[in-house]
């Protein structure tokens, strides 16, 4: 959606549409149309009175007229009634599907809805009536009505689960959905770590416009050293080079082989030779354009050549966008294991263009979904994690996300980047909180390194499933948490079994770089949500979990 001229809030009663609409309109400086308030003003009576006098039919006709009239305006937020979206007449190109219209569904559990409606009646002394909730058990009636209307609510561009969010936070989340071309200042995500600050831009279509962004940050830089791999270069190198050249940079290009094999001392040495023979200076910039391999390799070289030159991460894979490009971890592999050689080095700038995802094979996308599921599982244990619910967001928007629809995809990436940044800010070097980000990685890295038949995300997904089994075995969680993790992974068709050499995986576990005092650190799910780090996991529990995820000899699914 290139430009948003109107935002329409739909959803069941009690989800906060009127309050959120008011706050959102104030934040954007737009007009507000609250259809319930407009109906009451037009009729000169309350909605319950209108229902009693005329029935539901005439009310719905007037409601549709008011809503469709509001859509003729620009720069307007519309808070609709709970049943408005059910009418087929408000959809189509003359209604909610009109170009420039962003439809956001606010969703809450029936229990949350009942609590809010009951509280509202308490505040106004019992004068608030909900005609459609009259009669028998209100909780049952809420669940029935919500179920009847759900297919209409699911037509929204994005669904926000609001049970744990304040109205102000919901309004901020919706404002973040607006594309940069909308009449507002685009918020920048930042990561302030002891070693440096990263500014993070999430903006669809940003790669072709990268030149001015880089030039404004480094006005006196002369050369830009662009590292990419042979797959990514085909799709994205030319527009980046054109943008940098137009901005006055002398662009030097280097393309490495795609795949984990490039994360090596040999390839790092080749990059050093390229940079040093080309006269690299400390005022130059190195840009890593690609997925996690290019980001890790390019970051390591930028951190170490001339004792460090500025680094810009330009992630093109979903995994790199939500995880490896943010946080300052760089590194290369060693025959003894993954990422055993590296440094922490914060990139001053990370530019994420979600439009790049449309060039990815399905298998690469699945790798990214695995890291996002990881964030959803650990979120309750992360700084500020209690204020959001990434797992519910994934569940409610899974089909939209699998289709890479906007603006929901960009919002998901921002949420994940914000989570990662919050963790790294509190623990840059993985002494405490950052270790939570290794959920699924202890066994996952070993599975990945056992022949590299599995993508990183596929291996981490298997590692998360195994961590759930270990957690249940040692008592940190129950079957409900294991089932929840499996269900989230299944939403994105991530593997359940691995065809690996179990003996080799056990051997590789002995080289895990996260060991402390010779003991492996396991990040395990806990009852009620979240994770905990433990180093007392018995070998038998690990063996049983490994067996649970390696019972089949099926090969990984192809792209």
Confidence of residue 52 (pLDDT cuts 50, 70, 90): confident
What's the whole-number mean pLDDT along residues 148-152?
94
What's the whole-number mean pLDDT along residues 246-264?
96
pLDDT tens-digit readout, 67-85: 999 999 999 999 999 989 9
Average pLDDT, whole number, for the chain? 90
Confidence of residue 65 (pLDDT cuts 50, 70, 90): very high
Query: DSSP letters along 185-223, please?
Result: PPPPEEEEETTEEEEEEE-TT-GGGHHHHHHHH-TT--E
pLDDT tens-digit readout, 328-358: 999 999 988 888 999 999 999 999 999 999 9
Active site residue 397: no
Question: Cα 506 to the chain's mean position, in Å?
Answer: 32
pLDDT of the residue at 513? 65
Distance, in Å, from the CA atom of 417 to the CA atom of 421, rounded to the nearest integer, reads: 6
Cβ atoms of residues 350 and 200 within 8 Å: yes
Closest CA to 17 of 143, 106, 111, 77: 106
**Binding site, residues?**
14-19, 36, 60, 82, 130, 149, 292-296, 316-317, 329, 338, 356-359, 371, 441, 456
Q: Which of 231, 333, 397, 438 is catalytic?
A: 438
**Binding site for NAD(+), residues?**
292-296, 316-317, 329, 338, 356-359
Distance, in Å, from the CA atom of 25 to the CA atom of 38, rounded to the nearest integer, reads: 16
pLDDT tens-digit readout, 365-417: 999 999 999 999 999 999 987 767 899 999 999 999 999 999 999 999 999 99
pLDDT of the residue at 298? 98
Decide which of 3.40.50.800, 1.20.1090.10, 3.50.50.60, 1.20.1440.120 is the CATH code for 374-548. Answer: 1.20.1090.10
What's the whole-number mean pLDDT along residues 310-339?
94
Helical (H) or strand (E) element with 78: strand 76-79
Confidence of residue 49 (pLDDT cuts 50, 70, 90): confident
- In this predicted structure, the answer to whether residue 121 has a pLDDT above a threshold of 80 is no
- In this predicted structure, the answer to whether residue 420 has a pLDDT above a threshold of 90 is yes
What's the Rg (C-alpha) of the chain?
A: 26
Q: Which of 375, 396, 434, 484 is catalytic?
A: 434
pLDDT tens-digit readout, 486-507: 999 999 999 999 888 888 888 8
- In this predicted structure, the answer to whether residue 554 has a pLDDT above a threshold of 50 is no
> What are the φ/ψ torsions at residue 466 (nearest 5 degrees)?
-65, -40
- In this predicted structure, the answer to whether residue 314 has a pLDDT above a threshold of 80 is yes
Q: Quickly name the fold that domain 189-360 has.
A: Rossmann fold (3.40.50)
What is the token pair recorded at 241? Answer: 């080079």
Domain boundaries, the chain: 6-175, 189-360, 374-548
What is the token pair recorded at 64? Answer: 């549709």
Q: Which of 223, 329, 400, 484 is catalytic?
A: 329
SS3 192: strand
Active site residue 416: no
Confidence of residue 510 (pLDDT cuts 50, 70, 90): confident
Decide which of 3.40.50.10860, 3.40.50.300, 3.40.250.10, 1.20.1270.30 is the CATH code for 6-175. Answer: 3.40.50.300
What is the token pair recorded at 26? Answer: 């104030």
pLDDT tens-digit readout, 166-198: 999 999 989 988 876 433 334 469 999 998 999
- In this predicted structure, the answer to whether residue 552 has a pLDDT above a threshold of 90 is no
- In this predicted structure, the answer to whether residue 556 has a pLDDT above a threshold of 50 is no
> What are the φ/ψ torsions at residue 502 (nearest 5 degrees)?
-60, -35
What is the token pair recorded at 431? Answer: 């002494």
Active site residue 434: yes
Active site residue 236: no
Active site residue 438: yes
Other Cβ atoms less than 10 A from the Cβ of 255: the count is 18
pLDDT of the residue at 47? 80
Active site residue 371: yes
**Binding site for ATP, residues?**
14-19, 130
Distance, in Å, from the CA atom of 456 to the CA atom of 449, rounded to the nearest integer, reads: 9
Q: Which of 445, 455, 465, 484 is catalytic?
A: 445
Confidence of residue 288 (pLDDT cuts 50, 70, 90): very high
Sign of dihedral through CA atoms 327, 333, 336, 338?
A: positive
Tell the residue number behind the tokens 């609709």, with chain if given.
Answer: 80
Distance, in Å, from the CA atom of 137 to the CA atom of 347, rounded to the nearest integer, reads: 56
Q: Which of 441, 455, 465, 484 is catalytic?
A: 441
């Amino acid at each position: 959606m290139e430009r948003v001229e109107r935002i329409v809030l739909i959803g069941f009663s009690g989800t906060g549409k009127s309050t959120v609409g008011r706050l959102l309109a104030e934040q954007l400086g737009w007009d507000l149309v609250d259809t319930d308030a407009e109906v009451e003003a037009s009729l000169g009576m309350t909605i319950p009175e209108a229902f009693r006098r005329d029935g539901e039919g005439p009310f719905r006709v007037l409601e549709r007229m008011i809503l469709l009239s509001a859509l003729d305006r620009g720069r307007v937020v519309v808070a609709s009634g709970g049943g408005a979206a059910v009418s087929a007449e408000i959809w189509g190109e003359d209604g909610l599907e009109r170009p420039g219209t962003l439809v956001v569904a606010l969703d809450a559990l029936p229990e949350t809805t009942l609590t809010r409606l009951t509280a509202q009646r308490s505040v106004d002394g019992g004068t608030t009536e909900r005609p459609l909730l009259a009669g028998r058990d209100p909780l049952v009636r809420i669940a029935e009505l919500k179920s009847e209307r759900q297919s209409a609510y699911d037509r929204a561009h994005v669904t926000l689960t609001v049970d744990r969010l304040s109205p102000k936070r919901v309004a901020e989340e919706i404002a973040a959905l607006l594309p940069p071309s909308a009449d507002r200042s685009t918020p920048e995500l930042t990561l302030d770590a002891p070693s440096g600050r990263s500014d993070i831009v999430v903006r669809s279509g940003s790669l072709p416009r990268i030149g001015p962004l880089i030039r404004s940050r480094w006005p006196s830089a002369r050369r830009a050293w662009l590292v990419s791999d042979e797959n990514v270069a085909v799709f994205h190198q030319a527009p980046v080079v054109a943008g940098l050249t137009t901005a006055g940079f002398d662009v030097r290009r280097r393309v490495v082989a795609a795949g984990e094999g490039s994360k090596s001392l040999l390839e790092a040495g080749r990059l050093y030779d390229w940079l040093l023979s080309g006269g690299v200076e400390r005022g130059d910039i190195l840009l890593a354009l690609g997925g996690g391999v290019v980001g890790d390799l390019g970051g390591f070289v930028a951190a170490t050549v001339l004792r460090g030159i500025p680094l810009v991460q330009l992630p093109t894979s979903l995994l790199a966008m939500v995880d490896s490009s943010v946080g300052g971890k760089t590194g290369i592999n060693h025959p003894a294991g993954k990422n055993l050689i590296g440094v922490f080095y914060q990139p001053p700038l990370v530019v994420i263009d979600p439009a790049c995802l449309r060039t990815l094979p399905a298998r690469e996308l699945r790798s990214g979904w695995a890291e996002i599921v990881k964030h959803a599982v650990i979120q309750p244990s992360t700084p500020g994690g209690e204020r959001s619910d990434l797992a519910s967001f994934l569940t409610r928007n899974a089909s939209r996300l699998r289709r890479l629809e906007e603006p929901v995809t960009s919002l998901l990436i921002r949420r994940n980047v914000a989570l990662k940044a919050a963790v790294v800010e509190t623990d840059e070097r993985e002494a405490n909180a950052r270790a939570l980000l290794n959920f699924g990685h202890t066994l996952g890295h070993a599975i990945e390194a056992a022949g590299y038949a599995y993508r990183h995300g596929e291996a981490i997904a298997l590692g998360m499933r195994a961590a759930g089994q270990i957690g249940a075995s040692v008592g940190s969680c129950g079957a409900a948490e294991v089932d929840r993790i499996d269900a989230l992974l299944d939403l994105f068709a991530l593997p359940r079994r691995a065809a690996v050499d179990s003996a080799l995986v056990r051997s590789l576990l002995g080289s895990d770089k996260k060991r402390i005092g010779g003991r492996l650190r396991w990040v395990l799910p806990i009852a009620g949500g979240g994770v905990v780090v433990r180093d007392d996991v018995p070998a038998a529990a690990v063996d049983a979990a490994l067996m649970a995820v390696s019972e089949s000899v099926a090969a990984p699914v192809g792209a």
